[in-house]
Amino acid sequence: MSLRPFLGLVPLGHVDLLVLQHLCTAITEFLSLPVRILPPRPLPPHTYHLPRNQYDSTRLLEYLLSESHDEAFRVLGITAVDLCIPIFTFVFGEAQLDGKAAIISTLRPGGGADNIKPRQPIFLERLVKLSLHELGHTFNLPHCRREGCLMGFAANLEILDQKNIELCEYCRILLADYFNTVSDL
Ligand SMILES: [Zn+2]
Ligand SMILES: [Zn+2]
Interval 84-126: pLDDT, tens: 998 888 999 999 999 999 999 999 999 988 878 999 999 999 9
Distance 42 CA to ligand 1 centre (A): 25
User: By percentage, how much of the chain surpasses pLDDT 90?
Assistant: 84
Residue 100 burial class via C-beta count within 10 angstroms: exposed 0-12, middle 13-18, buried 19 and up: middle
Higher pLDDT, 148 or 185: 148
Q: What is the mean pLDDT of the chain?
A: 93
Distance 178 CA to ligand 1 centre (A): 17
| Residue 178 near residue 139, CB atoms below 8 Å | yes
This prediction has a pTM of 0.94
Beta strand 83-85 pairing with 88-91 = antiparallel
Catalytic residue list contains 62: no
Domains of the chain: 6-181 (3.40.390.10)
Distance 139 CA to ligand 2 centre (A): 13
- Examine the pLDDT at 172 and tell me if it is beyond 80: yes
Distance 147 CA to ligand 1 centre (A): 15
Write down the catalytic residue from 29, 71, 125, 134.
134
**Per-residue pLDDT, 2:** 47
**Per-residue pLDDT, 71:** 83
Tens-place pLDDT, residues 13-36: 999 999 999 999 999 999 999 999
Q: Tell me which residues have their CB within 5 A of the ion that is ligand 2.
A: 144, 146, 149, 151, 168, 171
**Per-residue pLDDT, 26:** 98
**Per-residue pLDDT, 182:** 79
| Residue 134 near residue 95, CB atoms below 8 Å | yes
- According to the 3-state scheme, what is the secondary structure of the chain? CCCCCEEEEEEECCCCHHHHHHHHHHHHHHHCCCEEECCCECCCHHHEEHHHCEEEHHHHHHHHHHCCCCCEEEEEEEECCCEEECCEEEECEEECCCCCEEEEECCCCCCCCCCCCCCHHHHHHHHHHHHHHHHHHHCCCCCCCCCCCCCCCCCCHHHHHHCCCCCCHHHHHHHHHHHHHCCCC
Select from 129, 127, 58 the least CA-distant residue to 94.
58
**Per-residue pLDDT, 184:** 55
**Per-residue pLDDT, 87:** 86
